[in-house]
Structures are given as structure tokens and as C-alpha cells.
């Protein structure tokens, strides 16, 4: 089946909400750098499924040549999907070079701006006891560096809870009734039984987090109990368990913790989420249970430790691993197995513009031993690597099925969590991507049999699911026939491509775009915190001491620079498909319909945000990038 342009006069509709490009005119490069195809001057708009290619005899040979020459990946770290040692020449063009220069210029301009020139002078005075946190405001000049709005709210309990829903890492919160109640190790069970009478233990609380009604006295609305809130599905939990076994790998002076935090939907406040209790370890013998009734400084320390844990797990797992690293492996495997004339390869290249470049730079600079990530995070370099390895093992693609993900976590009820705008917007963007993918797949594949018989897609999926170390990625949960790595229906392919395109665009934007708002104001979300978890509540801790324990000087400058760069607005919003293949009328119509719906959703989100004290903008389609390019 050929997909050449039927009418060369058909123009791809320009996307009407594009942001003026700071990198100049983007030139979409061809994927025709594969073997002999380019030398024959093949047209870039001619794409074929394997069985329909008039040059099928050379096609398999050219795929092998491309895989060997340009996409020969390696396993740089055990348990982590393979990557390329360098960006291959087939991925370099004028547009990628312009993008690199633009990002470099942005960093240089920020570094010489007035706020950073006076940064060190500012930190000589930061610990004045009369206004220790407010002094952090002075680093923002309101022009080049706008002060994040969270600076006004960060100490409030409702803001602390709100960030579980619409902050940088909204991927963890779940209803307590969805949590598996694993038993404690014998020594921990004995500790709990000695400290808490059995009659006070609540059967619905995780044994490792033995919060009782007595612990939260005065926290809940009058007349309410934890048992009643649980029965009404109003209790929610955030668990940073993956950090627990990583702690021995972390610098001890950085006090990495693995907290568990409990929240409730407050019926007095239109079900606004509020905090109930925090435990700063996975083992109850090692941590007190903190609540909003504790002395102000003690409670603030507990919340900051949660924010540190959240920043660490977010950056390594939810951001770098779940979007950058996993999807790079998906894309490289596609390039290793799909010919450049395959319609899926030509389509998906538009969602991976600059992904290999940004990831190559991240590996060599940001997550290197002296890079920004291990320098800023309490994990340190060995901890970052250990967390990558722990969370990457047996990576499950089911997490990318957004509707099912939210249902498993028990957060779909809009009445109980009315302010979960991340959930609301994610579901609507997912639905638009899903419909667009369905339209495109129906054009490319006539029947289920045509999917099953596509040998290149079969090889691609098999390589993704093949175990790590045997030239595969070790991924689970890719939609296939049960017990196999065979994708035999259009429905399976549609779901997989929806997962990939959504995650490369909206999934990444959801965990990336808010980093300046929430991490640039360091007290709200520091990467490290130099106060150990309190062992007693008898004596409060002063605000000045808490301020001294926050990152300062060069680390604050680095953190602000880092998140400023990562929060750069996109030049290529979701729906920016402008390659030659999309001049064909049926493809062009599918894209135009997708763009029109995205604009409508963007308008709806902006109207809603006009009524909100704290607008949620990170999944506004005008601000969702087409792919991972930052």
C-alpha cells in the first residue's frame, strides 16, 4: 500500500497557535538517510508498508545497515534500557543545530542577569531572623526572573496538599482504599504492638504507617474520624517507598528520607485536599508521626522532607526515566526496526525531534557525577544511579494508559477531588490523542491482519519486550496478544501509539512545565535539606535554623538555572505535523481535525483558569510540546 501524495497542490494546514520560533524556521528533515534509498533520490513523501514497497528486496538490507551504522545502541548502566553513545548523523540537521544554539544562549543570558550577579551578596544576608524566607524573594527581579507565585503560599498546608494534585509530580497520589496492606517485618510489627495498643490500630491503614485516631486528634473536621473518611473514600496517600532502599547509597549529610503522607478531602472546604499526617521513613520504628497539630517548625520540617523526597523521585523517575529515557529507547528501537519509508517512522519522527540530542546532553552533563542532578539532589550520583536501576526494572507500559492509571489509583471521582485539574486536563488531551491516532492508523492499516503481518512493527515490539541485556529493553505491559510479544490488531497498535505520543507530549509536559513555578523558589522544593528528621517534638525549631538548612549560594543559582531552562516554552506545540507525508489529503484532514480540537480544548482550559486563584496551565495544548525537546 503506497502513501504518496495524491495531490501535490494540497498544503498542510498551518497550526494557528504556534509560538514564534526562537530557533528560526524549522526545517523538517527527511528520514531517507537509510542505505541506498537516499542515493536514489527517493521522494520523502513516498511511504510504504513492508509488503507493499516496490523496493522490498533492498528494504530489509537497508534496515540492517542503518541499525549497524547509526543505531547500534549500548547498555551504559545495568537494568536501564539501552541508549546511543552519540547522536547519529541521521538525526542532525539545521533545525537541531539551531535548537542547540538557542538553548545555550538562554543559559548564558540567564547567568549574566542582574539577579545572579548579586546572588552571593544576597546569601550573606539570607539568614536574618526577622525575615529569613522572604529574603529568597530578592533573587527575583520581576523581569528576567519572575518570582514564582508559590512563594506566597508555600508554607500553607493547603498548598502542600495542592501540589500532590497539580504540582510537578501529580503521578503518585492515590486513594487509600487502593493500597495493598503488606505485613511488617517481625521486628517492626513487635515495635508497633509495643507502642500502640492493638485496639487503636486501624485495619485500613498500611501496617508500615500505623496512624491512629489519637494521632490526628484536632486535625480532622469536628465529628469526623479516619474510619468515617476512609468509608467515604476521602483518604489519600502518597508513598515514596522507592527511596527507602536507596538511602544507603546517598550522601549521609543530605538526610534523604522515604516518607509516607496522608491527606483527606475536606468536606468543610468543598473537598479541598488537606494533609493529615507524615511519617519520614518506611519503618515506623525509625520515625515519629507528624501532624499539623505539632509545633510549627517541627511540622514545617516534616513537610520540607516530603518536598525533598518528591523533588528527588520526580526528577529521576517521573521525569527523566518515565519520559526521556524510556521513550528514547522506544524511538531508537523504532529506527532500528522500521525502514525510513515506513509510515509510522515518518509519522513518529515528528514527536521525537531533538529527543536524542537533549538526552545525550543530559547523560554527559546533567546526570554525570559532577552534573546538576546529582549535585542538587539529596540522592547524590550513586543514589541517582541506584534509583534509576531500581525503578527501571521490568518497566510496565500500563502506567502510560492514563484512564486506567487514574482508575487504579482511585482518583477519578471529580466530586471527591474537584481541584485535580491535572487529571481533568490529562483525560481530555488523552482522548484527543487517542482519536487522532485512531484516524491515522485506520488510514495506514486496512485490517487487523495488516498489522499482524507487518514484520517491521513485529520486530520493533519484540525488541522492546525482549529482556534487558539480550538486545532488548525489558518492557512489560505493551498491548499484545496475551503471553506473547505479538501485536495482532489495530486496537492494540492504536493503544500503544496513543501511549507513546501522549507520553512524549502531554505526559512530559505535565512533569516538566511546572518546574520553574515550583522548584525555582527553593524553600518550596529544595533538592536537599540539612536538618535530620526530628526524633522528638518537645522543642520547636526556629525559622532561622530551617532557612540555614536550605541550599544556598551556588546551589540555589544552579537550581534556578536548571529549572528555568527546563521550563522553556515550546516552539512546536502538540499537533505540529508538517512533514511531506502529511500533504496527502486524508492525513492532512486527520491532522487538521486534531489541531482544531486541541485549540478548542486550549480555549476551554483558559476560560476555566480565569476563574482559578492558582491556574493550572501545564496541559494547555498551546503549551504542550509536540515531543521531548527540553
CB 63 within 8 A of CB 377: no
Question: Which helix (H) or strand (E) covers residue 274, if one does?
Answer: strand 272-279
Is residue 253 predicted with pLDDT exceeding 80?
Answer: yes
CB neighbourhood size of 306 (10 A): 24
Pick the CATH number of 172-308 from 3.10.450.60, 3.40.50.150, 3.10.20.90, 3.30.750.24: 3.10.450.60
Looking at residue 104, its pLDDT comes to: 54
Helices (H) and strands (E) in the chain, counts: 24, 5
Q: What is the pLDDT of residues 423-434, one digit of tens each?
A: 999 999 999 999
Looking at residue 369, its pLDDT comes to: 93
* Chain centre to alpha carbon of residue 606: 22
Beta bridge pairs of residue 275:
263
Torsions phi, psi for 7 (to 5 deg): -145, 105
State the DSSP code for 321: I
The whole-number average pLDDT for the span 467-488 is: 94
- 248 exposed, middle or buried (CB, 10 Å; 0-12, 13-18, 19+)? exposed
State the DSSP code for 289: E
Select the highest-mean-pLDDT range: 108-112, 489-493, 550-554.
489-493
9-18, 332-341, 360-369: least confident range: 9-18
5-9, 112-116, 353-357, 519-523: least confident range: 5-9
What does the alpha-carbon distance between residue 348 and residue 501 come to, in Å, rounded to a whole number? 8
Looking at residue 132, its pLDDT comes to: 72
Q: With bands split at pLDDT 50, 70 and 90, how would you rate the model's confidence at 324?
A: very high
CB 336 within 8 A of CB 289: no
What does the alpha-carbon distance between residue 391 and residue 380 come to, in Å, rounded to a whole number? 16
Q: What is the pLDDT of residues 80-124, one digit of tens each?
A: 999 999 999 988 876 655 555 555 555 555 554 534 444 444 444
Task: Establish how many alpha carbons lie within 13 A of residue 289's alpha carbon, considering only the half-sphere containing its beta carbon.
Answer: 20
The whole-number average pLDDT for the span 587-600 is: 98
Give, in degrees to the nearest 5, the angle at Cα 433 between 429 and 438: 150
Residue partners of 381: CB distance under 8 A and separation at least 6: 368, 369, 374
Domain ranges of the chain: 47-86+312-521, 172-308
Is residue 287 predicted with pLDDT exceeding 80?
Answer: yes
Looking at residue 43, its pLDDT comes to: 46
Looking at residue 394, its pLDDT comes to: 85
CB 516 within 8 A of CB 436: no
Q: With bands split at pLDDT 50, 70 and 90, how would you rate the model's confidence at 197?
A: confident
117-126, 373-382, 459-468, 514-523: least confident range: 117-126
Looking at residue 399, its pLDDT comes to: 97
CB 5 within 8 A of CB 563: no
Torsions phi, psi for 507 (to 5 deg): -60, -45
Sheet strands side by side (includes 289-290): 174-175, 235-239, 260-266, 272-279, 289-290
Looking at residue 121, its pLDDT comes to: 46
Looking at residue 140, its pLDDT comes to: 85
* 351, 421, 601, 623 from 505: Cα distances, Å: 7, 17, 15, 10
Torsions phi, psi for 8 (to 5 deg): -65, -15
Give, in degrees to the nearest 5, the angle at Cα 520 between 519 and 521: 90
155-164, 233-242, 279-288, 563-572: least confident range: 563-572
What does the alpha-carbon distance between residue 245 and residue 224 come to, in Å, rounded to a whole number? 36
Query: CATH homologous superfamily for 47-86+312-521?
Result: Lipoxygenase-1; Domain 5 (1.20.245.10)
The whole-number average pLDDT for the span 29-56 is: 57
Q: With bands split at pLDDT 50, 70 and 90, how would you rate the model's confidence at 17?
A: very low
Q: With bands split at pLDDT 50, 70 and 90, how would you rate the model's confidence at 46?
A: confident
Residue partners of 22: CB distance under 8 A and separation at least 6: 102, 571
* 1, 303, 361, 471 from 356: Cα distances, Å: 30, 36, 9, 19
Query: What is the torsion angle, in degrees rounded to the nearest 10, for the CA atoms of residue 584, residue 590, residue 596 and residue 598?
Result: -120
Give, in degrees to the nearest 5, the angle at Cα 114 between 112 and 118: 100
Looking at residue 577, its pLDDT comes to: 94
Looking at residue 276, its pLDDT comes to: 98
* pTM of the shown model: 0.91
Looking at residue 469, its pLDDT comes to: 83
Residue 250, sorted as left (phi over 0), alpha (psi -120 to 50) or beta, turns out to be beta
What does the block give as the cell for 149?
507565585
Looking at residue 143, its pLDDT comes to: 74
Q: What is the pLDDT of residues 389-419, one digit of tens each?
A: 999 988 999 999 999 999 999 999 999 999 9
Is residue 3 predicted with pLDDT exceeding 90?
Answer: no
Question: Which helix (H) or strand (E) covers residue 368, if one does?
Answer: none
The total number of residues shown for the chain amounts to 630
| 150 compared with 561, residue with greater pLDDT | 150
Amino acid at each position: 500500500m503506497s502513501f504518496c501524495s495524491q495531490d501535490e497542490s494540497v498544503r498542510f494546514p498551518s497550526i494557528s497557535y504556534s509560538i514564534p520560533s526562537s530557533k528560526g524556521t524549522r526545517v523538517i528533515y527527511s528520514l531517507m538517510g537509510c542505505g541506498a534509498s537516499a542515493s536514489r533520490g527517493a521522494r520523502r513523501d513516498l511511504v510504504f508498508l513492508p509488503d507493499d514497497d516496490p523496493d522490498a528486496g533492498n528494504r530489509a538490507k537497508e534496515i540492517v545497515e542503518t541499525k549497524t551504522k547509526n543505531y547500534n545502541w549500548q547498555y551504559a548502566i545495568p537494568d536501564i534500557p539501552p541508549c546511543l553513545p552519540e547522536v547519529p548523523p541521521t538525526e542532525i540537521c539545521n533545525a537541531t543545530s539551531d535548537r542547540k544554539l538557542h538553548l545555550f544562549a538562554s543559559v548564558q543570558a540567564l547567568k549574566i542577569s542582574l539577579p545572579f550577579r548579586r546572588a552571593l551578596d544576597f546569601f550573606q544576608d539570607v539568614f536574618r531572623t526577622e525575615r529569613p524566607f522572604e529574603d529568597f524573594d530578592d533573587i527575583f527581579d520581576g523581569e528576567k526572573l519572575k518570582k514564582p507565585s508559590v512563594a506566597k503560599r508555600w508554607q500553607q498546608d493547603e498548598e502542600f496538599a495542592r501540589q500532590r494534585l497539580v504540582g510537578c509530580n501529580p503521578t503518585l497520589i492515590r486513594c487509600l482504599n487502593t493500597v495493598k496492606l503488606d505485613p511488617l517485618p517481625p521486628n517492626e510489627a513487635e515495635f508497633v504492638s509495643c507502642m500502640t495498643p492493638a485496639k487503636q490500630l486501624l485495619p485500613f491503614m498500611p501496617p508500615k504507617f500505623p496512624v491512629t485516631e489519637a494521632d490526628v486528634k484536632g486535625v480532622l473536621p469536628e465529628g469526623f474520624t479516619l474510619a468515617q473518611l476512609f468509608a467515604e473514600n476521602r483518604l489519600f496517600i502518597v508513598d515514596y517507598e522507592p527511596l527507602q532502599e536507596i538511602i544507603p547509597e546517598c550522601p549521609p549529610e543530605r538526610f534523604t528520607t522515604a516518607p509516607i503522607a496522608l491527606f483527606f478531602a475536606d468536606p468543610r472546604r468543598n473537598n479541598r485536599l488537606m494533609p493529615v499526617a507524615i511519617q519520614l521513613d518506611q519503618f515506623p520504628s525509625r520515625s515519629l508521626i507528624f501532624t499539623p497539630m505539632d509545633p510549627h517548625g517541627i511540622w514545617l520540617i516534616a513537610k520540607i522532607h516530603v518536598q525533598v523526597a518528591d523533588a528527588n523521585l520526580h526528577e529521576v523517575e517521573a521525569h527523566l526515566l518515565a519520559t526521556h529515557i524510556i521513550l528514547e529507547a522506544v524511538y531508537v528501537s523504532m529506527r532500528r526496526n522500521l525502514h525510513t519509508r515506513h509510515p509510522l517512522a515518518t509519522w513518529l519522527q515528528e514527536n521525537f525531534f531533538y529527543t536524542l540530542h537533549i538526552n545525550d546532553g543530559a547523560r554527559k552533563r546533567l546526570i554525570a557525577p559532577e552534573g546538576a542532578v546529582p549535585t542538587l539532589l539529596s540522592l547524590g550520583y550513586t543514589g541517582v544511579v541506584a534509583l534509576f536501576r531500581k525503578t527501571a526494572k521490568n518497566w510496565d507500559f500500563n502506567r502510560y494508559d492514563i484512564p486506567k492509571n487514574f482508575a487504579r489509583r482511585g482518583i477519578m471521582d471529580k466530586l471527591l477531588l474537584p481541584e485535580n485539574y491535572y487529571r481533568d486536563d490529562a483525560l481530555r488531551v488523552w482522548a484527543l490523542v487517542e482519536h487522532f491516532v485512531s484516524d491515522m492508523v485506520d488510514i495506514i492499516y486496512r485490517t487487523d491482519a495488516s498489522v499482524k503481518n507487518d514484520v517491521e512493527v513485529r520486530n520493533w515490539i519484540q525488541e522492546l519486550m525482549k529482556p534487558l541485556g539480550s538486545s532488548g529493553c525489558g518492557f512489560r505491559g505493551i498491548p499484545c496478544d496475551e503471553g506473547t510479544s505479538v501485536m495482532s490488531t489495530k486496537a492494540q497498535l492504536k493503544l500503544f501509539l496513543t501511549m507513546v505520543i501522549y507520553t512524549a507530549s502531554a505526559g512530559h509536559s505535565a512533569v516538566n512545565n511546572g518546574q520553574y513555578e515550583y522548584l525555582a523558589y527553593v524553600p518550596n522544593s529544595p533538592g536537599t535539606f540539612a536538618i535530620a528528621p526530628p526524633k522528638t517534638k518537645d522543642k520547636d525549631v526556629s525559622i532561622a535554623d530551617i532557612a540555614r538548612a536550605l541550599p544556598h549560594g551556588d546551589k540555589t543559582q544552579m537550581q534556578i538555572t536548571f529549572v528555568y531552562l527546563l521550563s522553556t516554552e515550546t516552539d512546536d506545540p502538540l499537533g505540529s505535523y508538517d512533514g511531506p507525508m502529511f500533504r496527502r489529503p486524508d492525513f492532512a484532514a486527520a491532522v487538521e481535525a486534531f489541531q482544531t480540537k486541541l485549540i478548542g480544548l486550549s480555549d476551554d482550559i483558559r476560560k476555566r483558569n480565569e476563574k482559578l486563584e492558582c491556574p493550572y496551565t501545564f496541559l494547555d495544548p498551546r503549551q504542550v510540546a509536540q515531543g521531548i525537546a527540553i
